[in-house]
Homo-oligomer: A and B are copies of this chain.
Amino acid sequence: MIGRLNHVAIAVGDLEKACKLYRETMGAKVSEPLPQPAHGVTVVFIELPNTKVELLHPLGENSPIAKFLEKSPDGGIHHICYEVDDILAARDRLKAGGARVLGDGNPKIGAHGKPVLFLHPKDFNGTLVELEQA
């Protein structure tokens, strides 16, 4: 069912410093910051040959990563995202297996303009998992 690892998302407290680290010290291809007010984050894409790392920084009030950074001011891995072909079929299979879908259980349009769902970390080894319809 799950396909490619679409991205690893890392919450960062100092976006400029994190970009510099990945661009200059790590020698990676790092995008310009992309504000996404609808999602409460500014995103920077780090393009690796096989997948992406996404740096997330809070934007505006009620950012979904504000609480995470309060607990971990240095930042940390926030979630991983797996691609699926059919997000409703994936959701139904996961729910049948006992996994909890966050929110109202219906896919939302995510940061890449595609339907996404988030799954409860308690059901996935303490890992927040995003599913994105590829």
Residues of B within 8 Å of A3, CB to CB, are 48-49
Within A30-59, the residues touching B (CB, 8 Å) are 48-51, 53, 55
Residues of B within 8 Å of A72, CB to CB, are 126
Identify the interface centre among A48, A99, A126: most chain B CB within 10 Å of its CB: A126
- Is A110's beta carbon under 8 Å from chain B? no
Cβ A5 vs Cβ B2 within 8 A = no
Taken residue by residue from 1 to 29, chain A's Cβ proximity to chain B (1 for < 8 Å, 0 otherwise) reads as 11111001011110000100100111110
Cβ A77 vs Cβ B80 within 8 A = yes
Cβ A76 vs Cβ B126 within 8 A = yes
- Is A97's beta carbon under 8 Å from chain B? yes
Identify the interface centre among A2, A12, A26, A55: most chain B CB within 10 Å of its CB: A26
Instruction: A124 to B94: give the CA distance in the assembly, Å.
Output: 33
Residue of B nearest to A97 (CB): B25
Decide yes or no: A76 and B25 within 8 Å by CB, A3-B49, A50-B4 being known contacts.
no
Instruction: A80 to B50: give the CA distance in the assembly, Å.
Output: 14
Residues of B within 8 Å of A8, CB to CB, are 5, 8, 80
Residues of B within 8 Å of A77, CB to CB, are 77, 80, 126-127
